[in-house]
Amino acid sequence: MNDMEISTIGERIKTLRKKRGYNQKELADLLGKSLRTIQKYESGEIEVSIAMVNELAKVLDTTSTYLLGHQTSDFKFDSLSDVMECLFQIEKITGLHFSIETKRPPHHDGWQCSITFDGKDKAADLNADICLFLEEWENNRESFKEYGMSKSAYEAWKDKTLAYYASQGVEMSELEELDEDERIKRRAALLSGE
């Protein structure tokens, strides 16, 4: 069985525990847990908290995201169109709203484009999480660029962040196709402020 076939967190814990040469009791001792708790983690009888996922990742010399089944290496960008497709996919996420702003000459000195998420948008329940993430990312990214944070610390923060949000599923919705009359009617209502 290869890593891609291991479908549950319990199976991944068990496989890594064995790979590291630990029995269940030894793993329990390393984590300060009971043998029965480790057995329940591996069998899926109880849910593993995010804090425990982080501890297990340290002890088993892996990443939290791997334990949770989120593989960041699955994202492969071969061209700029792959990046653009990723942005188009963000547009389909229910509960996530954004605006796009473009500043360019002759009205502005530079040429800047940005995607903005309003963290207080009541109609977009995921925006606050995105805003919190972007704020933290900005701080850690700057700290890393200015040599205030090591690469391993930056990667550890990234892994813990991805692991934390891995359990927060999103719903995707396709853009709505309207017939010409309905589109014109909605456009008129939008412009009149109704």
Q: What is the pLDDT of residue 149?
A: 96
pTM above 0.85, yes or no: no
% of residues, the chain, pLDDT over 90:
75
Both structure tokens of 28? 């329990």
Would 37 be classed as within a structural domain? yes
Looking at the fold, whether 154 and 88 belong to one and the same domain comes out as yes
Per the structure, the count of domains in the chain is 2
CA distance 151 to 135: 19
- Read off the pLDDT band of 96 (50, 70, 90): very high
23 within a domain of the structure (yes/no)? yes
Q: Please tell me whether residues 20 and 44 are part of one structural domain.
A: yes
**Residue 178 corresponds to which tokens in the numbers above?**
């309207």
In a domain, 183, yes or no: no
Helices 151-166 and 50-59, axial angle in degrees (round to 10): 140
Q: Are 116 and 88 part of one and the same domain?
A: yes
In a domain, 88, yes or no: yes
Binned at pLDDT 50, 70 and 90, residue 21 comes out as very high
Examine the domain organization and report whether 153 and 98 are in the same domain.
Answer: yes
Confidence bin at 70 (pLDDT 50/70/90): confident
pLDDT 10s digits, 115-149: 999 999 999 999 999 999 999 999 999 999 999 99
- Are 49 and 148 in contact by the 8 Å Cβ rule? The answer is no
In a domain, 129, yes or no: yes
Looking from the CA of 98 toward its CB, the CA atoms found within 13 Å total 19
30 is a domain residue: yes
Q: Let me know if residue 1 belongs to a domain.
A: no
Domain that holds residue 109: 80-166
* Tens digits of residue pLDDT in 142-194: 999 999 999 999 999 998 898 888 878 889 998 889 999 999 999 999 999 87
Give pLDDT, residue 176.
87
Q: Between 169 and 26, where is the model more confident?
A: 26
For residue 31, give the CATH number of its domain. 1.10.260.40
